Structure 1
Amino acid sequence: MQQAIIGFHVDEENDWVADLACGHGQHVRHNPPWQNRPWVMSEQGRQEKLGVMLACKKCDDEGHQ
Structure 2
Amino acid sequence: MEHPIIGYHKDEEDDWVAELSCGHNQHVRHNPPWQLRPWVTSRKGRESRLGHQLDCKKCDRNEPKDFKV
TM-score by length of 1: 0.93
Letter in 2 for 1:49: R
Aligned residues: 63
Cα deviation for residue 27 of structure 1 reads: 0.5
Q: Show structure 2 runs of 5+ residues with no match.
A: 64-69
Flag the structure with higher helix content. Answer: 1
Instruction: State the Cα RMSD in Å.
Output: 1.1
Extract unaligned runs of 5+ from structure 1. Answer: none
Query: What SS does the corresponding residue of 2:40 show, helix, strand or coil?
Result: helix
User: Deviation digits for residues 5-52 of structure 1, max 9, x if unmatched?
Assistant: 000110001111100001101110001111111110000000000000
User: Normalized against structure 2, the TM-score is what?
Assistant: 0.87
Structure 1 residue aligned with 2:2: 2
Match of 1:20 in 2: 20
